[in-house]
Amino acid sequence: MSLYNKYAEIISKAVKAIGERTFFAQYPEHPKAYGSEAPELGKLAYEAQLNNPFTALLQEGNTEVVGEESSPFTGELLGIKYPFFKVDILVERGEATKKQWAKTSVEERAGILVESLERVVKRFHEIAWATHHTTGQSPAMSFQASGPHAADRALEAIAMGFMEIKRFPEEVTWNKPMGRVTLSQSKTYRAIPKGLGLVIGCSTFVTWNTVPGLYANLISGNPTIVKPHPSSVYPIAIYIAELQSVLSENGFDPNIVQMAADSSEQLITKDLAEHSAIKLIDFTGSTQFGNYIESIPNKVIFTEKAGVNSVIIDSAKDMREVMRNLAFSASLYSGQMCTAPQNFFIPESGVETEIEKMTYEQVVDLLQNEVAALALNKKMSGILGALNSEKTAERVRNIDNLGGRVVLASPKVSNPDFANARMVAPTIVEVDATNTAAYSQELFGPILLVIKTKDTDHSVELAKKLVAEKGALTCALYTSDEGKAAAITEEMNEVFAPVSLNFTGFSFMNQHAAFSDFHGTGGNPAGNASFSDPSFINKRFVWVGNRVPV
């Protein structure tokens, strides 16, 4: 039984889900769905890997090792070492696999790729521990984001690729009536891969942001090199190890997928990205480095960079529910999500609710209270997680440099399980609407800015201008006026910003679902790609038609 036949039903369901956009999750997000013994086995596997070389990769011949991961919770080094390879060796090995993988049918590719995910499933709990202690994510987020949610995004890329490559028939007989004769040709259509791909990972969402580009490349027939961030390697190394294992077992060169681990003292990202053999680049990270990646000529490039996400508050049914929701969104993983809210635009005249008209000061005070209450609730320390980088902590400490009024100084917080956790609670700063320098930059981390505006129209004007100039991955809007809701949504959509309207309860602006939500639009400066629309796949191969007279 071929792997495609084995997983044809899963692939079919995923393809169907992409078209319908309704809820679909091949991999449940609840940890208990994977067996009662899985959590303990995952923990044991993680502990066994600490202070040992990562030997599961099928990449041989290295003479050096690298590894500098440390836990944001304990402050201790993980002690894991990964093989280091020079750029020319990685490229040479990847190039050698191109013909074999390109000639493989999309069905066979899809079967191999889904098999790799099915094996990763058995390691979700190990991946969760690895993510927890490399990124600073809470245990729950580490499990969901790096495990089932990432796997669903990978499956989405597989299914999208399968759809696009199967869009046209492989072969047809073409007949053109020409009076007494018929002109006949046999025509074949081939999706030709662009070539060797490079996927550059980030330090915060190690697998979730990496696997879409990785699996999109592979389903399209492009061998790929994955360059993880030096501080967060272990989680994606597991995915790559399982991919290599499945490839090898099925007669393929495991170097179709390679991991290019490096160190902060011996970075190879630019050398890889600029290499003439690299034809495709996927990047997640800072705007500065993303702009550099986009400037490299003769590459097909997919980026997710930094954006400035806004919240526009006009009116609401219950402002307390609104602020409780926004406080959670802003505090989740200490604001270290590319979709986290940063700028809160509030009219100086206040906000209408079903209960009362609230003044501007009351609205800001309510936001302050909800954020502080969440941060100081010891049961909610897991929501904050830990700061991935000391630079993020410094940014919060230097908040006075913004030139605004500190509404909420970062409350002192701690994690009951980790005394040395790098934790900083959210801070809120009020800045004047004229101080565009302060709020037109991404302040990565737990920093919330309140901007007093003349009215809602002014709020929309500022938010829209920000998206056009700086980019955004999402926007939240609160209004009880249906006419305003439609008009403002249209305004924000014009600059390619998706709108989340009146989210309260368990709907949060910074959470996107595979198979239903496009992550990013690719239409504003926050990035040029979207997980996962057809262009995320189609740019990775070229249609070539061949003709033979009959």
pLDDT, tens digit, for every residue of 455-470?
A: 999 999 999 999 999 9
What is the overall mean pLDDT for the chain?
A: 96
Helix (H, G, I), strand (E, B) or coil at 292: helix
Looking at residue 382, its pLDDT comes to 85
On whether the CB atoms of residues 282 and 199 are closer than 8 A, the answer is: yes
pLDDT band (50, 70, 90) for residue 378: confident
**Proportion of the chain above pLDDT 70, given as a percent:** 100
Q: Which amino acid is at 400?
A: D
User: What type of residue sits at position 25?
Assistant: A
Strands 278-284 and 300-304: parallel
Residue 411 in this model has a pLDDT that exceeds 90: no
Query: Dihedral angle at the C-alpha atoms of 108, 110, 116, 119, nearest 10 degrees?
Result: -100
Question: What would the DSSP string read from start to end of 493-515?
Answer: HHTT--EEES--TT--TT---TT
Backbone angles phi, psi at 27, to 5 degrees: -115, 110
Helices 38-49 and 124-135 cross at an angle (nearest 10°) of: 50
Residue 351, CA distances (Å) to 354, 370, 460 in order = 10, 17, 15
pLDDT at residue 452 above 80? yes
> Cβ(478)–Cβ(315) under 8 Å?
yes
pLDDT tens profile 47-56: 999 999 999 9
Express each pLDDT in 309-339 by its tens digit: 999 999 999 999 999 999 999 999 999 999 9
Q: What is the pLDDT of residue 41?
A: 97
Separation of alpha carbons 384 and 426, rounded Å: 9
Ordered by where they begin, the domains of the chain are 3-305+529-549 (3.40.605.10), 310-501 (3.40.309.10)
The Cα–Cα gap between 548 and 223 comes to 30
Reading across the β-sheet that carries 171-178, which strands appear in turn? 171-178, 181-193, 541-549
pLDDT of residue 168: 96
Instruction: Enumerate residues 6+ apart whose C-beta is below 8 A from 515.
Output: 14, 17, 18, 21, 23, 24, 25, 152, 156
pTM for the model: 0.96
At 150 the pLDDT is 98
Q: Is the pLDDT of residue 159 over 80?
A: yes
The tens digit of pLDDT for each residue in 418-429 reads 999 999 999 999
pLDDT grade for 1, boundaries at 50, 70 and 90: low
Q: Model confidence over 193-249: pLDDT tens digits?
A: 999 999 999 999 999 999 999 999 999 999 999 999 999 999 999 999 999 999 999
C-alpha to C-alpha distance for 382 and 405, rounded to whole angstroms: 29
- Residues 292, 355: Cα–Cα separation, whole Å: 51
What mean pLDDT do residues 119-135 have? 98
